[in-house]
Structure formats: structure tokens, C-alpha cells
Chains A and B, each alone.
Chain A
């Protein structure tokens, strides 16, 4: 072993320091949870809320479909006939008892899909924990939104500012047969305001795919679909023309945007050049 190799071997720990120094300049990845929260995904399933109409009527009609569909059996509903002089819900019946056991709920959102009146949706809250089992059973008074339509804040839940504004759930608009490219209408009544979102790609024929930034699901799926699963107006040559028109319009829009951007930047460059000459002029 020569002396230079020995020195190199002895100083090899500097390589470790180099790595440490490199990591010092990198951005931090740790999320300081009690101080800040991770932003929630738009389809996050959190703690449920029971919605009301804007006139204060409850949306729940006590049909117990949510309890029937729940795979974890965590919902308990009892319906009751509305009192004739002071009805609680616009229907014939209302949910008299509504309880969700959050130590059983797996947040699958099947109740939200089953609900015919959009009474039950899921908020984005997921930071909560209990110190006893009784706290975990949310009764109707805890689930029901307040007069503003916002969910109630319970002491063992960690709500932050503005988080309760997204309490409406995302609903799949699949066909009863399970066809993923089904173009049924998403049943948003639009009557209760909080967190309503436009339907996403593949959810409705009337969506604005440019706005949501998603590729239409049917374009991906149509190659794999049976003929009868494709809507009539999109089949065959008709559909091909329709698709070509759509993509041409999209292409033209992108091109126009690029042109206008280019024009604006060119104008800005010229604008920045002109005052410099004017400033130098007096000197």
C-alpha cells in the first residue's frame, strides 16, 4: 500500500461530510403536522356530515339505504313519519335516529353513493381520535350541519380555517351495470353550497374537460368497450368526426394561447428596451 493511498483511505470520511453538506441544501420533506396540515385531495373521504336544505329542512328522509349498503355495518338509522304541523324533512319521513360508529366506518363512501337525497356526504376531516368508545359514536346532533350548512366542530377533531368549506362528497356516476364510461348525469342538486364541485372527467357529458384538466375517460376507454356501451352519437364515423372536431378545437385553442403568449412577451421585451434608452438619453 503506497502512502498516497493510505492518506486517501484515512480521509475517506470526508466523503460522508460531503453527502451531509449536500443534504443541507435540499428542501425539507418533513411535514410539521400540529403546525401545518397536508393539503387534502379533492376526493378525500373523511368524517361524515348530514346536510340540510337552505331553508333548514333536513335532507335525510330515513330510507335506511346507507345503513343497508354499509359493508362495515357502522350506520344505524331509524325513520319516522314527519310530524304534519312541523315537518323535519320535505319527504314523508325523516331520519329520527342517525348514528355512525367511527370505530367501524372504513370511509368507503358507499353510503354517499346510495343516498337518494345527498343527505350524507363526507367532509375532508380525518384528524380525530377518541379516548373512549362513546365519543366515537356520532349521533345525529353531531353529524348534522349547522344553520350555515357547515359541519360542527367537536373538541376531539382538528379543524383548521376553511377546511369545513369542503364537505360535499365526490360521487361516482357509474352505470348500475358497472360500465366505467357511462355518461349519466351526476346528481348534484346544487341546493346546498359547500364544496360543490363540477363533475370530473368521465362523469358527465356536459363537463368542461379543459377546466378540470382531465382527459375524457371515454377517449381512453372506447378502444376497449363493446359497441353498445358507446353512446349512439359517439359511435362509428359520426363519433370519429366529433372527436376530430373536438381535438381540432383544442389544438387551435392551445395554438392561439401560445401565439398570444409569444406576442405578449415580445411586447414586454420591447417595452423593457425602450425606457433604458430614454434613461440614458439625458446623460
Chain B
């Protein structure tokens, strides 16, 4: 029985905080540099940005000792099964950062050779945009992941539905997903082709 199967109570609350603190401060990344983004990833590991401030300096060459996979670079169709295998060999709990636009969506390589988004293969926790992302962008993504680990729940506290609805509310409060300028003066455009295409939240 893992920690995930525990029911939540006041004892496990403190235990959960402790476990999350420990997980957050020792996220060891697996080496998965695929292209030019890997240079920025190495720069993050070097003295200039010194990722060991976050307890992450050990880039593990073995997936069994790694918690985080930073997919740095474009993933070709041939690399996809390898990436999936490395992900499967990593121990739970595990996280994935999709670094750069090529890993996130194929970027400017919209062709038959490149996987259009690594989230078709593995579940991605944080996307870092940029071509390539600067070390600070990647650090921002890592801090976002830390925040995600801190706010995430290990034990079962609430039913899934309520969590989803809560997330939706914050998303609506956060982004202006419905604020198009068409309704500036109450004037409704009548062009049939003019539609909103962004992904609904």
C-alpha cells in the first residue's frame, strides 16, 4: 500500500506536508536533452544559475533514480518510444516539464518527423515556452512545478468533481477568456466566419 491509498485525517495532514516538502526539495531530473534546449538546461545546472539551490543538481543518467523528466528539445517520431520507455522506467512520483516550444507543440517544425507535442506521449505538468527558453524561464517552470507539488494532494481529501470545478473558477477569474472587443459598445459582429478559436477552459 502506498501513501496514495491512505484516507486523510489530522495525522496524515502533517505527514503529507512533510512528504511534500521532502519531494519538493529533492526533485532529481533525468538527463533528457534532445536539442539546443539542452544547452540552456546545462546552463541552468552550471554555476551561473546553480540549480542545486533547489536541491536538483544531480541529473541522473538512470531513470530509476530520477523524479523529473525535462524534455529539452524536439522529439522525433523515432525518439518517442524511447522517451516513453524512459518515462515508464522512472519511479513514482514523477513529473514532466516540457521545455521549449518544440517539445511542447512541435514549434516551427510542423512536419512528419517531429512529434507535435510531447504530451501526446507522456503527461506533462509544466510547459516552458521559448525557443529556447532562457535558464530563468526554465527555473520559472521548475518553481511552478514546486508550487504544484506543494499544492497537490497525496492523500484523498476531496472528490474529484469539486476539485475540477474549483480549478475552473480560478481559471475564469484569472484569464479574460471571454473579453473580446466585439462587445465593446454592445455592437455584435455579424460576420459568420469570425469565430473564437482558442481552446475552451
Assess A105 versus B129: contact at CB under 8 Å? Given A30-B49, A97-B180, A126-B137: yes
Which of A10-18, A69-77, A191-199 binds B? A69-77
Main secondary structure of the interface of A (DSSP, over half): loop
Assess A129 versus B107: contact at CB under 8 Å? Given A29-B48, A33-B136, A96-B180: no
Q: Is the CB of B127 within 8 A of A133?
A: yes
What are 22 A-B pairs at a CB distance below 8 A?
A: A31-B49, A78-B193, A83-B187, A86-B185, A88-B181, A94-B181, A96-B189, A103-B101, A103-B107, A107-B131, A126-B134, A127-B140, A128-B140, A129-B144, A131-B144, A134-B171, A134-B201, A139-B175, A139-B176, A139-B196, A140-B180, A154-B175
Q: Is the CB of B198 within 8 A of A96?
A: no
Given A104-B106, A139-B179, A139-B196, 19 extra CB contacts under 8 A = A29-B48, A30-B48, A33-B136, A38-B136, A80-B189, A83-B185, A86-B187, A97-B197, A101-B105, A106-B101, A126-B130, A126-B134, A130-B129, A131-B127, A133-B127, A136-B129, A140-B181, A141-B180, A154-B174
Interface residue? B1 (CB, 8 A): no
Interface residue? B125 (CB, 8 A): yes
Interface residue? B148 (CB, 8 A): yes
Give, as a whole number of angstroms, the nearest-CB distance from A230 to chain B.
36
Interface residue? A183 (CB, 8 A): no
Tell me which residues across on chain A come within 8 A of B136, comparing CB atoms: 33, 37-38, 126-127
Interface residue? B50 (CB, 8 A): yes
User: A158 vs B107: C-alpha distance in the bound complex, in angstroms?
Assistant: 23
What is the interface residue range for chain A against chain B?
Answer: 35 or more
User: A31 vs B51: C-alpha distance in the bound complex, in angstroms?
Assistant: 10
User: A32 vs B50: C-alpha distance in the bound complex, in angstroms?
Assistant: 8
For the complex of A and B, list the 6 residue pairs with the smallest distance between their C-beta atoms, beginning with the closest.
A106-B131, A141-B176, A141-B179, A129-B141, A72-B108, A86-B185
A131 interface neighbour in B106, B125, B137, B177, Cβ under 8 Å: B125
Main secondary structure of the interface of B (DSSP, over half): loop
Q: Is the CB of B129 within 8 A of A103?
A: yes
Tell me which residues across on chain A come within 8 A of B129, comparing CB atoms: 102-103, 105, 128-130, 136
Interface residue? A6 (CB, 8 A): no
Assess A29 versus B47: contact at CB under 8 Å? Given A38-B136, A106-B108, A139-B180: yes
Q: Is the CB of B182 within 8 A of A96?
A: yes
User: A218 vs B191: C-alpha distance in the bound complex, in angstroms?
Assistant: 50
Q: Is the CB of A104 within 8 A of B196?
A: no
Q: Is the CB of A128 within 8 A of B137?
A: yes
Q: Is the CB of B105 within 8 A of A103?
A: yes
Assess A158 versus B180: contact at CB under 8 Å? Given A32-B53, A106-B108, A106-B131: no
Interface residue? B22 (CB, 8 A): no
Q: Is the CB of A80 within 8 A of B194?
A: yes
Which chain A residues (30-64) contact chain B, with CB distance < 8 Å? 30-34, 37-38, 58
| Closest Cβ neighbor of A29 among chain B residues | B47
Interface residue? A219 (CB, 8 A): no
